[in-house]
Amino acid sequence: MNMLQLDADVIERLNAKAQWVWEETLRIHRRSQETRVASSLSTIEIFVTLYYGGFMRFDPDNPIWEGRDRCIISKGHGSLCMYPILADLGYFPKQELERVCQAGSFLGGIPDPVIPGYETVNGSLGHGAGVGAAMALGLKCKGKDRMVYVVTGDGELHEGSNWEAFMFAAQHRLDKLVVLVDNNHISMLGPTDEIVSHRNLVRKFDAFGWSAREVVDGHSVVAIANALLDCQRDTSGKPKAIIVNTRKGNGVPGLENAPLSHVAAIKPDLIDQLLGERR
């Protein structure tokens, strides 16, 4: 695997990509106001680090290339930011970004595997961990040294099926499985701690037989990259969890960390203002 060297150039490049993806995500949302933008702003640095940081092997010309690392985007609604990433990487033309949620487009409000680069159906929550764990098991049985990343949300972890999968992954010592929890602390109706608190997710994963670590600032590509590198160096044989503490609606005044931000839209004028664009 092409290991990331965290020198200044790489960091600058990742930060520039993260900024560009943030802007593109807002532009998509400006055109398609029904998209769930707040959840997609918390995951940007996770996806940017995975896809631009050398942690993923992939082939945009052959999205289900056998030699790829798998990325299961379990919190599908929070991956609008993947559209510019996939377009930028060459999975589909960038012009398609203009047509998100429009009739005839394959880029919907919630992504499905009709989109090149998406592995699974992601609209319903709580599925990615189990499917991803089995893919890791399947790869292990085939003797394929490939990673399986699963990106999930903290609200999504209320689904009990996740915990069935976490026990399963630990039992089978699926050490190539890495679950990244976009821990933005807010579910649809408010803070997860006030709904059903996860309390300490690192300790929970640890108790379930995983090797877990926390990223305090989930909008730092360096911190995420270091956590991923830590997973690569981890020889415990356990599946890995990274609790990435993020801010829902990151960078948007009024939206960021707002308890009811989940389905809130950003007014076009505010987007223009944030992007410094005149229309």
Which chain residues interact with another protein by CB under 8 A?
A: 64, 112-114, 119-121, 123-124, 126-127, 129-139, 141-142, 160-161, 164-165, 167-168
* Min CB(138)–another protein separation in Å: 3
Residue 164 or 234: the one with the smaller Cβ distance to another protein is: 164
* Min CB(90)–another protein separation in Å: 21
| Radius of gyration, alpha carbons of the chain | 18
Residue 21 or 135: the one with the smaller Cβ distance to another protein is: 135
- Long-range contacts made by residues 26-31, C-beta under 8 angstroms, separation at least 24? 26/252, 26/266, 26/271, 26/274, 26/275, 27/97, 27/271, 27/275, 28/80, 28/83, 28/84, 28/97, 28/100, 29/80, 29/265, 29/266, 29/271, 30/266, 30/268, 30/271, 30/272, 31/98, 31/100
Residue 165 or 271: the one with the smaller Cβ distance to another protein is: 165
* Min CB(139)–another protein separation in Å: 6
Residue 141 or 216: the one with the smaller Cβ distance to another protein is: 141
* Min CB(165)–another protein separation in Å: 5
Instruction: Give the C-alpha distances (Å, rounded to integers) separating 28 from 156, 159, 268.
Output: 24, 29, 11
* Min CB(246)–another protein separation in Å: 25
Residue 113 or 253: the one with the smaller Cβ distance to another protein is: 113
Instruction: Give the C-alpha distances (Å, rounded to integers) separating 48 from 33, 65, 138, 222.
Output: 23, 21, 27, 11
Could you list the beta-strand ranges (E) of the chain: 70-73, 148-153, 177-183, 186-187, 190-191, 211-215, 240-245
> And the tokens for 48?
């940017």
* Min CB(1)–another protein separation in Å: 19
C-alpha 207/C-alpha 40 separation (Å) is 29
* Min CB(113)–another protein separation in Å: 5
Count other Cβ atoms within 10 Å, centred on residue 160: 9
Residue 53 or 76: the one with the smaller Cβ distance to another protein is: 76
Torsion-angle region of residue 267: left (phi > 0), alpha (psi -120 to 50) or beta?
beta
Residue 112 or 206: the one with the smaller Cβ distance to another protein is: 112
Residue 174 or 215: the one with the smaller Cβ distance to another protein is: 174
* Min CB(240)–another protein separation in Å: 17
C-alpha 122/C-alpha 260 separation (Å) is 22
